[in-house]
Amino acid sequence: MTRNVFVFDPERVAIGDCASFPDEIGVGERPFHVEVGFGKDIRTLRMAEREPEARFLGIEISRKKCVKFREKVARAGLRNVRCYWGDARKALAEMLPAESVDSFTILFPDPWPKRKHHKNRWVQEETAALLARILKPGGHIIVATDHDGYRDQIRRALSGAGFEETLTLDHVPEDDKSLFAERFERLGETVTYMKWGRPNREPLP
């Protein structure tokens, strides 16, 4: 099972020791998609089953959820999925090469609604710059949130990093449905689903 699913444990393996990860998963050779904060959802597994030629990485800070994810991948017999347990910012900054990812998906990240906690929000100027470095030209980012204030911050951060908002919906499409999306739908709460593109441009130096 360990050959099929890698959970990088920050207590035992430094991120710097994972430099072989891009080669191991075939980054650069095939489409590569990353989901940040998959939680209890199986969206990434659905996509991996549907696109066996592509490669998928789930990043999650909860060890328990990563272990569950690994078990689901193993039961499904998928060989094109990996999981990273730890801080997504460090994974993006130190593990993924420039212009290596075709898409990022970030569904309902914690909005940290109190002003004093806004610094903990995942999508900020710093992470937007990381996404811009790692995303391939022509790639895209999918973000969904139920918090208006966070939605506005996401827009400022991504537009400031050079991304263009290409789609906005007040619901989450079926392919991207998550447990949170289903819950908000049942409760009749408003959500914002956004797709952001990175314009084609000259490769980064």
Active site residues: 110
Compute the distance between CA of residue 192 and CA of residue 80 in angstroms, rounded to an integer.
30
Q: Could you tell me which residues come within 8 angstroms of residue 126 by beta carbon, excluding any fewer than 6 positions away? A: 89
Three-state SS at 76: helix
Nearest residue to 83 via CA among 15, 178, 3, 6: 6
Angle between helices 148-160 and 125-134 (to 10 degrees): 50
Compute the distance between CA of residue 125 and CA of residue 35 in angstroms, rounded to an integer.
19
- Could you count the other beta carbons within 10 Å of the beta carbon of residue 131? 24
Nearest residue to 110 via CA among 56, 160, 57, 62: 62
